[in-house]
Every structure is written in structure tokens, then in C-alpha cells.
Amino acid sequence: MDITPLFTITYGLYIVGSRRGEKLNGQIANTVFQITSEPVKVAVSINKTELTHELISETGKCCIGILSREADMPFIGSFGFRSGRDTDKYSGIPHTLTPGGCPLPEKNILSYIDLEITESLDVHTHTVFIGRVTDCGIMAEGIPMTYSYYREVLCGKTPPTAPSYTAAAGDMKKRPEGKEDDLMKKYVCNICGYVYDPQQGDPDGGIEPGTAFEDIPDDWVCPVCGVGKDQFSPE
Ligand code: FE
């Protein structure tokens, strides 16, 4: 069966915050939707392998942060692609705790929704958690990030744990062509889709503008998802 029609389903992009004591966790999710209005309930689908799944199952709580379209790939990458088991997702990210006690970034979030889980549906690889909204609030004015904006404009990829992941067509996103000679060739991270552009370098990672990919030190890592140079391919 050709599942291309499924790519026309529209989604938003969210940070799902969860917490176990001092351990703060956050992950990107696109499958978040309001289910009922009385009482007001919202559902979120989470892969069973994620730390978020473990924390929500244990605590019965999470919060949904609605991402602003202003969020850039390094910010989104801090919450996606890497597991909260290996990294502190909130390291270096100014954040606050919602009234429900879950972590929420202070930047790039338009609003938050606190959930107390009332039902959950086991769906093979994922669990759909349904929660009563215990609190919600506006953090900033702006336009919400949509999944298509993330894919089309930011050239973001879909990690294999996302409900909408497909190994084939879903991630065969064609990027805009650039005019470049071999030295100034762009390289793409196979994991997250970050594009290394030699003209821009990676100043935050200590790489001067004008540095060819080949000349980047071997210990450099993708600024979005943290993998090494060996995970990059010529664009
Ligand atoms: Fe990457």
C-alpha cells in the first residue's frame, strides 16, 4: 500500500515535559490533540522506548509546550534525536516549572497545557496518553510551529520513534540546491538533517566561517543532535 496520502495529515510540534524528582525531561512530539471539551482532555502519543513514556507512566503527569515558529533547529534538536537517559535535556536551556510541576522552556514556547493522565491506550509501539487539563497558560505571542513548517522550511527530519516516521519517503526530503564548488560543499547530518554550510561554519561549535567540512576537527559534533562527523553525507 502506498501511504503517501498520510503525509497530507497536518500536525503541530510540541515539547512534552515530564519529571521524576530532580530529573527533568522534555521531548519533541507532533501527535498532540484535544479530545473532548467537557471535561477538557488532550491526548499525546509517545513511543514506549522513550524516557518520557517511563516518566508519564510513573507520575501520571506531563505538560505540553506549544512551540513557536521562531524556534530554530538547534533548539528543537536539544529536545529531539537524543534520549533524556543519556543527556540532560534542560542543560543550558532557561526553563520554569508549570503549576503541574513539569519543566517548560522559557523561550520559543507560546503556551503550555498541564495534563493529569486519566486514560491510556496501548497501541503496539506507542501509548496514547489522554489527560485532563489541570492548567494552561499563554507564554508569548506568535505563530505556532507546524510539522510541515519544520519539514519544509527548517528541513527537519523525523526520528524513528515518532508516530509519523517512515524509513522511505517520509525522510527523503529534497533540500534547496546551492551553488558550490567542492571545497565549499555542504554536508547533511544523516540523523537530524542539520546542514553544515562551510560559508557559515559553526561559530558556536568553534568552527570559523569558511571552513571546509574536511577541515573540521574530528571531535566536532553535530550542533543539533550531537553525532560525529562520520554521520554526515555530502548534500
Ligand atoms: Fe545531527
Tens digits of residue pLDDT in 39-88? 999 999 999 999 999 999 999 999 999 999 999 888 898 898 888 898 89
81 Cα to the center of ligand 1, angstroms: 8
135 alpha carbon – ligand 1 mean position (Å): 34
In whole angstroms, what is the distance from residue 209 CA to residue 55 CA?
A: 41
CB under 5 Å of ion ligand 1: residues: 189, 191-192, 194, 222, 224-225
Kindly give the distance from the C-alpha atom of residue 186 to the centroid of ligand 1, in angstroms, as a whole number. 14
Alpha carbon of 191 to ligand 1 centroid (Å): 5
Widest CA span of the chain, in angstroms? Answer: 60
- pLDDT for residue 174: 45
Where do runs of H (alpha helix) occur along 153-211? none
User: If you measure from the C-alpha of residue 152 to the centroid of ligand 1, how many angstroms do you get, rounded to a whole number?
Assistant: 17
Predicted local distance difference test score (pLDDT) of residue 18: 98
The larger pLDDT score, comparing residue 168 to residue 106, is at 106
Spatial contact of 191 and 225, defined as CB atoms under 8 Å apart: yes
Q: How far is the C-alpha of 185 from the C-alpha of 205, rounded, in Å?
A: 19
Distance 192 CA to ligand 1 centre (A): 4
Count Cα neighbours of 7 within 13 Å in the Cβ-side half-sphere.
15
CA atoms within 13 A on the CB side of 149: 17
- pLDDT tens, position by position, 121-167: 999 999 999 999 999 999 999 999 999 888 888 777 787 788 888 76
Pairing of strands 103-105, 126-138: unpaired
E strand map for the chain: 14-20, 23-29, 32-37, 40-47, 61-67, 95-97, 103-105, 109-123, 126-138, 187-189, 195-196, 232-234
61-67/109-123 β-pairing:
antiparallel
CA of 155 to the centre of ligand 1 (A): 12
Closest CA to 13 of 134, 180, 142, 183: 142
CA–CA separation, 197 and 156 (whole Å): 16
- In this prediction, residue 181 carries a pLDDT of 60
**Would you state the pLDDT for residue 167?**
64
142 Cα: distance to centroid of ligand 1 (angstroms) = 27
Cα 59 to averaged position of ligand 1 atoms, centre (Å): 31
Average pLDDT, the chain: 90
CA of 226 to the centre of ligand 1 (A): 6
Q: 139: which residues sit within 8 A by CB, 6+ positions away?
A: 65, 104, 106, 109, 110, 111, 112
1-19, pLDDT tens digit by residue? 999 899 899 999 999 999 9
